[in-house]
Amino acid sequence: SQQGEEDPQALSIQEGENATMNCSYKTSINNLQWYRQNSGRGLVHLILIRSNEREKHSGRLRVTLDTSKKSSSLLITASRAADTASYFCATPSNDYKLSFGAGTTVTVRA
Amino acid sequence: GAVVSQHPSRVICKSGTSVKIECRSLDFQATTMFWYRQFPKQSLMLMATSNEGSKATYEQGVEKDKFLINHASLTLSTLTVTSAHPEDSSFYICSAPHRGTNYGYTFGSGTRLTVV
């Protein structure tokens, strides 16, 4: 089942610019995870933020979490053509099931 | 890192035939494997959960006789689409939470099924 919404649905930016996408979820969580999916491929885990964390960095990625608003954001800085992909947030339930957001499709123009 | 190998990556089959998709955990034991379905430009929808040595559990609306899941060993889970029809054409992906819910999950590379 889908956990919530992501916005925007699609994002087109110039190489070198930053890309920000947001995710909202409905239930209480232990952590929130972000994944990338290249066209026609499986998902790759990018970063996980725990419910007691507010911000986390990994390379050019920055994730924030606001549990009071049940929302998270993913920022990709200094985007590259290789960042072109769909990005999904996901939250695990107690029975290990991952619920995915609707996804944001990012296109980085050279 | 943990790898889940999924095969085949693409398959085209005729209506009425069955197709088997395999997911193997290469360097860890996957006691649980999740199977997802994804339509174009949409998110992943969980179909079923397979557990090694026990029956799979299916999400609401997923026909268990249509989508047969077997998890006979700690490294292999299979999804068989039986009597496939064009509406079964989709992208199928498996995933294993190899280190529990506080770590990222590992996904297979997906199988593009086209039923003609």
Using pLDDT thresholds of 50, 70 and 90, give the confidence band for residue A1. very low
Nearest to B105 among A30, A94, A98 (CB): A98
Flag if A43 and B93 touch (Cβ within 8 Å).
Answer: yes
Residues B24-46: tens digit of each pLDDT: 999 888 889 999 999 998 999 99
Q: pLDDT (tens digit, 9 = 90+) per residue, B72-106?
A: 899 999 999 999 999 999 999 999 987 766 778 99
pLDDT of amino acid A3: 60
CB contact under 8 A, B32 and A96: yes
pLDDT, tens only, A77-108: 999 999 999 999 999 888 889 999 999 999 99
Confidence (pLDDT) at A4: 64
Q: Is the dihedral of CA A94, A98, A101, A104 positive or negative?
A: positive
How much is the average pLDDT of B39-58? 92
What is B54-104 written as a DSSP string?
S--EE-TT--TTTEEEEEEETTEEEEEE-S--GGG-EEEEEEE-TT-TTS-
pLDDT tens, A57-74? Answer: 999 999 999 999 999 999
Q: How far is A59 from chain B (nearest CA, A)?
A: 17
**Inter-chain CB proximity B106 and A45 less than 8 Å:** yes
Region A34-43: mean pLDDT is: 94
Encoding tokens for residue B14?
Answer: 């005729």
Note whether A44 contacts B107, CB cutoff 8 Å: yes
The answer to whether residue B1 neighbours chain A at the CB level (below 8 Å) is no
